[in-house]
Amino acid sequence: MTQATTPQAATPPLAGMRVLDFSRLLPGPWATQLLGALGADVVKVEQPGVGDLSRHNHPRLREESVYFNGVNANKRSVAIDLARPEGAALLPALLGWADVVIESFRPGVARRLGIDAETVRGCRPDVIHCSISGFGQTGPLSNIAGHDLVIQAATGVMGCQPRGDVPPEVPGFQSADFAGAMTAVVAVQAAWARRGKDGTGCTIDLSMYDALLSMCVIPLASAMARLAGASGEPRQEVFGANPRYCTYRTRDGRAVAVSLLEARAWAAFCGAIGRTDLVREDESHADRLTDHGEHGLRYREAIANYCASRDRDDLVSEMRSLGIAISPVLDPDEALALDHAQARGDIDWIEHPVEGRMPQLLTPLHQSGLASRPRPAPVLGEHTLAVLREVGASSESIDRALACGALVQWQPERRGG
């Protein structure tokens, strides 16, 4: 892989923003990683000895999780036990330093730790407090853990597949997690911009459920039509019944994704395979996202036969040369090696103090110079003492917390590798 070339902005857009990150697992950490890429100073607060639970997920690099390192770049780590009085005594200094506080606990847990919106904004009204949870701080589902699968099920995304004897497949992409994360980034930036104008803080109750539901324009289109008194039929068909928007097997047992929605694209494909008899002069713009009715079976048979007559890469090469939207269904290793990913500079290589040289997926904002090259995810407690001294915590309170184990500072010489 070639190393990405990233234009560097003279001043990162979020330079000066200070973020205290109490979040764990995926939505919060990915959001704060992006804020860090845009120039914010992000301090991640973790539990000593355990840290963010995603540190322990497989697969690993030398010692830590690929997953953790993929969503926690651009941060410093402080290991502090807020459940102990000696650890909690250091919290005011950290909160006084922060412009933005982000947490991802279930409702009630943040209050017990003293980092809920009411407590934090009561001490500092101009702070931006963002709580990321599965279903929000209020409502009948607010006490349910915010796992992506449960949220995708609740929003109707998984219910769009045709009903049968087999339940819907578990999605391979965590759309609820990333919807919540991206919406949190937008919310924090919006609150930051407003604070710059009038000095006010903000309480952001960021529900992953709300975020994903707001994006479900296509999955919920028929239901929205029925809610308004219309029939909802025919529905926008992007769930497998449209033969021109589907996946097919190739001769070598692999697969391709076919996206020939527009009449012009369909005509180009039919011309390329010698089946101009399948082109309809009366096809309307409304037909593109349907199952094509009585014509659908002929379309599906023609596409399937063509794909089955060629090996995947030969087929894709032929279609690529014609600008026709048929893509190989890549496995993860192939996706990282794709020439387009290399050409776009979407993968960078960074040096980690423990893991060594490792790849990192970049935000697309790097291409415009808005985001900087990533710094490696921190080792647990790597910056504990430096950050606490920076925010003005007293030496006495730091010493007391160290003595009882409420603080942990990483010691490089004690680590292997």
Delimiting residues of CATH 3.40.50.10540 domain(s) in the chain: 18-216+345-414
| Measured distance CA(148)–CA(13) in Å, rounded | 30
Q: Mind spelling out the 3-state secondary structure of 16-74? A: CCEEEECCCCCHHHHHHHHHHHCCCEEEEEECCCCCCHHHHCCCECCCCEHHHHHHCCC
Burial (CB < 10 A; 0-12, 13-18, 19+), residue 205, is middle
- pLDDT given at position 84: 96
Burial (CB < 10 A; 0-12, 13-18, 19+), residue 107, is middle
CATH hierarchy code of domain 18-216+345-414: 3.40.50.10540
User: 194-203 pLDDT, tens per residue?
Assistant: 999 999 999 9
Name the residue with tokens 């809610």. Answer: 227
User: 263-286 pLDDT, tens per residue?
Assistant: 999 999 999 999 999 999 999 999
**Which distant-in-sequence residues (6+ apart) come within 8 Å of 196 by Cβ?**
none
The correct CATH number of 245-329 out of 2.60.40.10, 3.30.1540.10, 3.40.50.300, 3.30.565.10 is: 3.30.1540.10
**Which distant-in-sequence residues (6+ apart) come within 8 Å of 389 by Cβ?**
398
- Of 329, 6, 82, 69, which Cα lies nearest the Cα of 101? 82
Q: Is 259 in contact with 316 (CB distance < 8 Å)?
A: no
User: 161-200 pLDDT, tens per residue?
Assistant: 777 788 988 999 999 999 999 999 999 999 999 999 999 9
Asked whether the predicted pLDDT for residue 154 surpasses 60, the reply is yes
Burial (CB < 10 A; 0-12, 13-18, 19+), residue 334, is exposed
Delimiting residues of CATH 3.30.1540.10 domain(s) in the chain: 245-329
User: 93-119 pLDDT, tens per residue?
Assistant: 999 999 999 999 987 899 999 999 999
- pLDDT given at position 8: 58
Give me 31's structure tokens: 């959001």
Length of the chain: 417
CA angle 115, 120, 123 (to 5 degrees): 145
